[in-house]
Amino acid sequence: MDSKTTLTPEEENGFRNWYKTIAKQNNLPEDPDEPLDDNGDKSAVDHRKFFKRLVEDKDFSEGVQNMINHSQYNLDTGKAYKHKDGGVSTIYSTSGSDENGVEHIVPTVWDGKILEGEDIFIQARGSKKKWPTASNPDEANETADWLHKLVMRQQPKTDVGKRALKLGI
């Protein structure tokens, strides 16, 4: 499938509804097409930028949904990585480039462990799922940061989500 295939109207409507929820949580205009006041709010710009990519790039939106599902699965099944301080990681993403220079953003948390090195990519490929991509390492890091915030916001009833809300993430 062409990575620039646009979403169906139903899929786009689903993302618009999701964006409204994120917008409310972050005191942003609920219409993603409404101009933003330039008050230096980088998170507002990030949310808009990634919303636009979710709508315009079906493969990217599928990869993001797979990350959210992976996180939720790890929480639901107790397979999140448990840190010594009591915190948990459900995806702890990383990226690596393929032979075409495309950065693949993948989870490192699998079965309660944080994998390292090539094991991460072997596991991610073995899952047969699409994961988000980026055109370069900087964009991959920016996407991973946004995904981290998004996943934390998707878990408002968990300790991780409560902490994220307190921190304003």
Q: 6-24 burial string, b = 16+ CB within 10 Å, else e?
A: ebeeeeeeebbeebeebbe
Residue-wise pLDDT tens digits, 73-92: 888 888 988 888 877 888 88
Share of the chain above pLDDT 70, in %: 62
Expressed as residue numbers, the domain containing 24 is 9-167
Total tally of structural domains belonging to the chain: 1
Residue 50: is it exposed, middle or buried by C-beta count within 10 angstroms (0-12/13-18/19+)? buried
pLDDT digits (tens, 9 = 90+) for 40-68: 555 556 666 777 777 677 777 788 888 88
What's the pTM? Answer: 0.68
Any domain includes 85 = yes
Asked whether residue 20 is assigned to any structural domain, the reply reads yes
95 within a domain of the structure (yes/no): yes
Q: Is 42 exposed, middle or buried (0-12, 13-18, 19+ CB in 10 A)?
A: exposed
21 strand-pairing partners: none
Decide if 4 is inside a domain.
Answer: no
State CA 111 to chain mean position distance.
19
The answer as to whether 77 is a domain residue is yes
